[in-house]
Each structure stands twice: as C-alpha cells, then as structure tokens.
Amino acid sequence: MTVIPNEGPEKKLGPEKTAALPSQNASLPAKASGFSTICDALDYAAQGDTGYTFFNLRGDVSAALPFSGLRESALALAAKLAGNFERGARLAVIAETSPDFLVTFYACQYAGLVPAPMPMPVNLGGKDGYINQIRQMIAGADAAAAVGPETLREFLEEAAGQAGGAKVMSFDELNALDDKGASPQRFGADDYCYIQYSSGSTSAPKGVIGLQRSVCANLTAIARDGMYLTQGDRATSWLPLYHDMGLIGFVLTPMTTQVSVDFLATSDFVRRPLLWLRIMTDNKTTITYSPSFGYELAAKRSARAEPGAIDLTNLRVAGIGGDMVRPEALNAFAEAFGPVGFNRNAFTPSYGMAEATLAISFPKLGEAVKVDEVDMRHYTRSGVAQPASTLTSPEHKRGFVLCGRALPGHAIEVRDESGAPCDERHVGRIFIKGPSLTPGYYSDAEASAEMYDGDWLDTGDMGYFLGGQIVITGRAKDLIIINGRNIWPQDIEWAVEKVEGVRGGGVAAFSVDDGHGERIVVVAERRGMDAEALAALKREIGVVVQNAVGAPAEIVLARPHSMVMTSSGKLSRAKVKQKYLDGAFAGDVQEDEEAPRSLAEARV
C-alpha cells in the first residue's frame, strides 16, 4: 500500500463525529476479574453500552460495534462455523482493523475454532515476501481456511495453494455460509484461545499458543494491577491487531473490563499521526499505547496541528512497549504536547512479549519515567551497568528506561551464564514465570522445550535489576561481541541516526564472521546527495561508530527503504544482515527520496 503524507495543517474533528459512539454504561457494575474464557468476558460486557468504534482517514466514524452487537454477530457466525468446520480447527485470518476481523475472532471463540491472526501487507512491491510470510503461517497452523478481505484474495489464494490447499474465503463468504443447524461448543478454560505468530523470525514464524486460562490471567493482571482500568476509562489505539500489543492490549483487555475503544487503522496513523491525538482529544481518551517511534512521529508532525485542536489533559496512561524504549522520543513528545495538557508522568514503560500473552511488568502509574544513565565503556568491558559520572563523555553515556516490577503472581529473574541469579546492575539473561505464560509453540515441540527451564521461560532478552525494577538492554541474539567486549547494536544505530544525511529509523548494525573473527557492519539508508557527499557521509559515520563503541565498522550506504521490518514495524536486523550477506547492497545506486510506504518506513 502506498502511504502519502498528509499536507497542510490537520483539521479538528467536530463534536458530531462522536455523538453515536459506544459510551461507558455506569449501570453495569465494573468487573475486571473472574472470567475464565473470552466468551465469559464478552457475555458480561454485552450487557452494557460500551464497545468498539472505528475511524477512517478523514476522522469520521466508519463503524460502531457495541459489545452487545458484537456478541450477537459473533454467535450468529459461530453457528455457521460449527456446521462447516470441525471443533478445534484453525482459521488463519487477516487481522485488518475492522469489525469483520473482530466478529470473526470472537465467533471462533464461541464455535470452538482457533483463530490465527495474520498481518496486513506492509510494503509496496513486497508481494513475494508477504505471500511467503502468510504461507508459512497458514501451513504452520495447518489451517482449514484462510480468511480475509476480498482485496487480498489473490495473495491468500497463492499462499494457501503453496501451503497445501487451505480453503480461501472472504469475510463476506464466511458470513454467507449455510447454517446447518449445528450447535456451537464454546471454548473452555483449558482450551486454546488463539495462535499468535511472531513477526520477526528469520525462518518459519513460531505460533505462540494462547490458552483461555493464561490469556484471561494476563488480561486481569493488566487491567487490575497494571493500568487500574475503571468505568471512567476510554482507550484509543492504532496498533496492528495481528500483534500482541494491539490484539491483547486493545481488543481483549478493554472488553474484559467493559471499556470502550476507538480504533484507527495502522496505515492511517502513518499518514496522519496527529489524527491519533485528535481522536483522543474529542473522546477524552485516558489510555493509549505505542512503541517509542509512534510518539516520535507524532512529535515530528506537531507543527501541523491546528491551534486548539489537541487537548491531552485526560490521558493518564501513555504506554510504551513493543520495542526498546527511547527516552529521546518520549522527551520530544512531552515537549511538543505538554503545552496542550499532556502530563509526562502518564508515560508507562512496560515489558512484555507474546510468550507471556502480553505484559510481564508495569511501573507504578503516575510517576516520572526513571532513566538509568550508564557508562557504556565500563558496561561493554564488565557486563555491569555502572552509572555514568561527570567524567563520562556524552558519546559513552546510554540511558536505559526502568520498566517496573513483575505483575502479581508473576516473577522475573536475571541469570548469568552459569544460570545463577545476577546481582543488581549485573546484566544477564531474563527468565520469567507465572500464570500468563504460553504452554509452547503450536506444532513445534522442540522449540517449546528449548524455551523452558522448569517453570521458567527463557525470554531471550538481556537486562538487569535496579531498585527492584527490570531494565531491558536488548535481545541476546543481537549482541555483538568484539574482542571479548559486549556491544549493543542499538548504541550504534541510535548514534548513526543523528548524523545529517542518514534517514531516521534507517540504520541496522550487526556483526559478521569473515574467517578472522567478528567485525561490525553498519547499513545506513542515506538521503539524496552526490558522490562526493556520500563519501564524506561514509567517513563521518565511521568516526561516529568508532567514538560510540570504540571499534571500527564497515559502513554500507543503502538506498532509501532498504531496511527490512517486521509486520509490527520493528527493525529486523537478522533480515538486513541476510540481505548484506546475499550481496543485496552491492552497487547501490542513487535514488530520489520517496514518500513513506508503510508503518516501518514512516519511522522518523
């Protein structure tokens, strides 16, 4: 899909746009726990007046779906699904931001079918890559059918054909199935809820199993112990619904607490990021979430806001998740929107992953974000996050954000290479346990077994404890080791992004073994410039890397849009590295700038 940036000042939504939205029904007693299945939660929420609302690119309401109407539609479709599919069958469903996807997802719950949400296409010209991705998901789930909007039928048919012939159906065709009089049998607490596919795998994507019991445990912990959701809350989200933060955080958690949600499609957020803020303004949103780059993108566009169009006074939780938290992005957002009511203490950096359903830790709400300034020279030599001092030069300082404590009933450990718990500030591998954890990956017993050490799940993340809070430093697999020194690719990437001429969000750092040991490679997307300027840029980046991490690097200047992103907008270093090894960057030619074409390419 081609994304064209919006030009000119943004227009404020009128009050008539929100008149028919689902609201909070105070007559229905708030309930945030006690549900053992998703169906139980929707049965209760349907007794009130809350629900989901969808906004289009113009800021108009395109659809309103009260929980009562959602349940009615889901039950009707469930009866048809029960008559046409075996109980326990998997349905691979394109998770577009629409009522069609949500009705299908909930209908599967009532019919005893397992939905496996699949991503929307995110890159123009990436048809083959997208088809291969969803082919792997359809095959991995052994799906009985692949379902999506009619506009993606060609993609689905090609992917399903390669995956063994799963039946392809549009949402309309699914709803038009004959009702054969079968009685749907809803899922129980020990049954599946969904299969959540990881978006960053370089091989076959792994399908995280979500059980009804474990999912409900995490929903309760998030709502009751993390965000303290109440009847007065309202949520707004642009997050993709095939990602755990979008699906669990803003489809299921609010419904489980009878809270209304306003949705903006991810692609529309990319085109008009300030629309996210104006929806929050008009609907008095109290809860939202975004990766760091979403806040940064909105801050970059803040000058386009029409005076008086944005008021964030009601926002009490501005969560950050889905990627490493960038303090600079949060500061930019707070400075841009503080004058219109945003309270920087609303920022809520949390830690989570799909294997834990979603959330693992939360900080105390309403407190300032805590940033630990670390001396990276000491850290790379010793593995200890020693605080920076007045003698630490700016290029050797790194701010790590504290992400709170484990949710009640859950636990976090940081272990060294021998498996022993680490002391405070000693960086090690993060393990977690608790009732929200997945039993494993669908149809992948080997990977499931490797993930666990007894009751403890190996997250693959690295971090340390400080004052009882967990601090995330990066993914273990991304760590670069040069001459016994640990170097985090983020340190290199964030330093290089500040160089004039480099595209923001367009840097990947990794190491390769050339037969004589590991060496660093930095691939940076460059802006339009002549050959002389490119040579100067290459030299400047080399100096920046040397100063940042004390090691030389091979610098590759790539065409715009050369980075490879996951379907949730994260940089895939592994796939950029594979492109490098395949010679894809050799002989890059100059190319004019292009408009952003996806969420990933809109990263500022």
pLDDT tens, residue by residue, 142-175: 999 999 999 999 999 999 988 777 999 999 999 9
CATH superfamily, with its number, for domain 480-602: ANL, C-terminal domain (3.30.300.30)
What value does the mean pLDDT take over residues 489-518? 84
- Residue 227 to residue 8: CA distance in whole angstroms: 36
Q: What is the pLDDT of residue 24?
A: 60
The CATH number of the domain covering residues in 352-478: 2.30.38.10
Distance CA 110, CA 184 (A): 7
Q: Across all residues in the chain, what is the average pLDDT?
A: 88
Q: In what order do the strands lie in the sheet with 114-118?
A: 114-118, 90-94, 145-148, 167-170
Lowest mean pLDDT among 201-210, 336-345, 387-396: 201-210
* d(C-alpha 482, C-alpha 554), whole Å: 14
Confidence of residue 577 (pLDDT cuts 50, 70, 90): confident
pTM summary value: 0.84
Q: Is it the case that residue 556 has pLDDT exceeding 50?
A: yes
Start and end residues for every CATH 3.30.300.30 domain found in the chain = 480-602
Q: Is the pLDDT of residue 43 over 90?
A: yes
Residue 589: pLDDT band by 50, 70, 90 thresholds? Answer: very low
Residue 21, pLDDT score: 60
**CA–CA separation, 110 vs 81, rounded Å?**
9
How far is Cα 46 from Cα 42, in angstroms, rounded to an integer? 6
Residue 124 reports pLDDT greater than 60: no
pLDDT tens readout for residues 178-212: 988 889 999 999 999 999 997 544 457 899 999 99
pLDDT at 281 > cutoff 70: yes
* pLDDT exceeds 50 at position 298: yes
Name the segment(s) of the chain with CATH classification 3.40.50.12780.
31-219+242-248
Whether residue 499 contacts residue 506, with contact meaning beta carbons closer than 8 Å, is answered with no
**Which class is 31-219+242-248 in CATH?**
alpha beta
b/e code 185-208 from CB counts within 10 Å (16+ = b): ebbeeebbbbbbbbbbeeebbbbb
Is 140 or 18 the better-scoring residue by pLDDT?
A: 140
- % of the chain residues with pLDDT over 90: 66
> What is the reported pLDDT for 578?
83
Across the range 101-114, mean pLDDT stands at 98
d(CA 148, CA 229): 32
